[in-house]
Amino acid sequence: MKRILIALLVLVISFSLFAAGQQEAAKADGGSTGKKGSVMVYTSTGEDVVLKLKEAFEAKYPNITMDYYYGGSGKVVTKLSTEFQTKAVTCDLVWMADPSSMITWKGEGNLVPYKSPNAEAIDAKFKDSEDYFTAARMVIMGIGFSTTATSDAEAPYTFRDMLNPKWKGQIVMADPSNAGTTKACVYALVNDPGYGWKFFEDFKANGGELESSSGNTVNKVAAAAYQLCIGVDYNCRNMAENGSAIGFHNTTDVVCACPCPIAITKGAPNEENAKILYDWLLDPEGGQKVLANDCNMTVTNPKTSIPAGMIRADEAARVAMPIDWIDMKVNGKAMLEKFDALFK
């Protein structure tokens, strides 16, 4: 009898340990409750970036499929706004290039507030005060330069230094009517007391030109058609990694930082999985690590280990020029008309 009791006890303990191990394994591989199924992302972030994130997220949560719809900001806004109006939402998490659409959707009651534990470390400049959205990355506008025509030591570290007569006819920027991040940078600069409209007047007087998009702008500099540009950080860094003759300097006096927020939609079919993805995108060992180290994108969580030369999130928050997104939405058209009158 004693042997039978001991055998039964061993079986009970073994089963308990096995069950516990299975539960831990399920948690680790995404198989626990609420960690199955799919999550749909609508985003204007580059598709090459989305695919890298998808691969890493699904490796972490193999029982959740990360589906996505990729398009320009305008297409994403139109598609999702139509879904909100018809109450046929298929998007779980939306990721935009700037906060303007998020502010509109929040005001219309189309977003769900969510306080991610990974958002606590992120500066208030990069998230909504009521937790409706949080920036997962930011676009930094700095100075791109042709490495065939200009040395790293010679290339400027401030936008103002682009006005030096030695750069006359060799400076370019994207048209803010076509490039949203450039529009935000123009807004920040014209409202900065150290720059203002005088900077763009002088930029034009020094032979400054416009290109149709941010991509075209850095491509022209890499081809040495111009020596300097007001350019997007990750565009320049990715091109340099791929062998293009372009360098990039973060500006040292002021910083143009455009936060790119994520939010959970009201009516999301997979809200719990959206929260998991939201947390992962803000995780310094998850999405933030992928964005910074695999995509050369400036991230918002200061706990993330970043490559050399990339500005830290806390430093960007400290020096970033303020952008009133509501005011820019109201007065942005008038600003662009004034800009066009100056350049076109």
Written as one string, the DSSP assignment of 306-317 is --TTPPPHHHHH
Residue 218 inside a domain? The answer is yes
Is the domain of 145 the same as that of 223? yes
- Can you tell me which residue has the tokens 């490039």? 179
Is the domain of 225 the same as that of 159? yes
Q: What pLDDT is recorded for position 179?
A: 87
Is the domain of 215 the same as that of 339? yes
CATH number for the domain spanning 249: value is: 3.40.190.10
Please list, residue by residue across 270-309, b when 16 or more beta carbons sit within 10 angstroms of its beta carbon and e when fewer do: bbebbbbbbbbbbbbebbbbbbbeebbbbbbbbebebeee
Share of the chain above pLDDT 90, in %: 85
Is the domain of 215 the same as that of 334? yes
pTM comes to 0.83
- Residue 83 identity (one-letter amino acid): E
Is the domain of 102 the same as that of 237? no
Residue 283 inside a domain? The answer is yes
Number of domains in the chain: 2
**Terminal-to-terminal C-alpha distance of the chain:** 98
Is the domain of 145 the same as that of 86? no
Residue 8 inside a domain? The answer is no
Are 100 and 325 in contact, with CB atoms under 8 Å apart? Answer: yes
Is the domain of 338 the same as that of 230? yes
Is the domain of 126 the same as that of 179? no
Residue 318 inside a domain? The answer is no
Residues in the chain: 344
**Alpha-carbon gap, residue 273 to 213, rounded angstroms:** 35
Are 228 and 221 in contact, with CB atoms under 8 Å apart? Answer: yes
Q: Tell me the average confidence (pLDDT) per consecutive run of 10 residues in the chain, 344 residues long.
A: 44 42 44 74 94 98 97 90 97 95 96 98 96 97 97 97 98 93 96 97 98 94 98 95 96 94 98 98 98 97 95 92 93 96 96
Q: What pLDDT is recorded for position 27?
A: 44
Q: What is the pLDDT of residues 75-107, one digit of tens each?
A: 999 999 999 999 999 999 999 999 999 999 999
Is the domain of 203 the same as that of 283? no
Is the domain of 101 the same as that of 244? no
Is the domain of 132 the same as that of 163? no
Range of the domain at 280: 35-138+258-311
Residue 40 inside a domain? The answer is yes
Are 99 and 261 in contact, with CB atoms under 8 Å apart? Answer: yes
Report the interhelical angle of 325-343 vs 180-190 (nearest 10°): 90
Is the domain of 201 the same as that of 334? yes
Q: What pLDDT is recorded for position 95?
A: 97
Contacts of 130 (CB under 8 A, 6+ apart): 106, 113
Pairing relationship of beta strands 209-211 and 134-146 according to DSSP bridges:
unpaired
Residue 292 inside a domain? The answer is yes
Question: How is residue 244 written in tokens?
Answer: 């293009």
